[in-house]
Amino acid sequence: MYLLILFLTFTAIHGITSYTKNMIRIATICGFIISVFSICIAVCTFVLKLTGIVTFDVGVAAISIGVYFFGSVILFFIRLIGEYIVKMNIRVMNHPLVIEDKRINFNK
């Protein structure tokens, strides 16, 4: 039963990702929002540390700024690679532009 569910899940994911680029675009938009949020958290932590409004333990501010900033950079490059893979996949698959039912007024 477990293998059947796993097979059906992989088949569904393949069916969705093979013929559309909407899923990678949704992931790109979500990744962009998360990376903007991460950069905002890093900037807020930096400002709070500099102004002394909130006292952090030694090293906590530096680690959190690094994690949030580099996390957003990594998300950016993963999105970039994902978009590149989608473009390559579209070029390689050679889907027909139109599926024709029957031809009218064309001689063979």
Domain ranges of the chain: 22-92
pLDDT value, residue 19: 67
Which residues make Cβ contacts (< 8 Å) with residue 94, sequence separation at least 6?
none
Q: What is the mean pLDDT of the chain?
A: 80
pLDDT value, residue 18: 67
Contact indicator for 37, 75 with CB cutoff of 8 Å: no
Instruction: Give the mean pLDDT of 74-87.
Output: 81
What percentage of the chain has pLDDT greater than the value 90?
A: 0
Please name which of 29, 19, 26, 8 lies closest in space to residue 76, comparing C-alpha atoms: 29
What does the DSSP 8-state code read for residue 57? P
Contact indicator for 75, 31 with CB cutoff of 8 Å: yes
Amino acid occupying residue 87: K
Q: Is the pLDDT of residue 17 over 80?
A: no
The pTM is what?
0.58
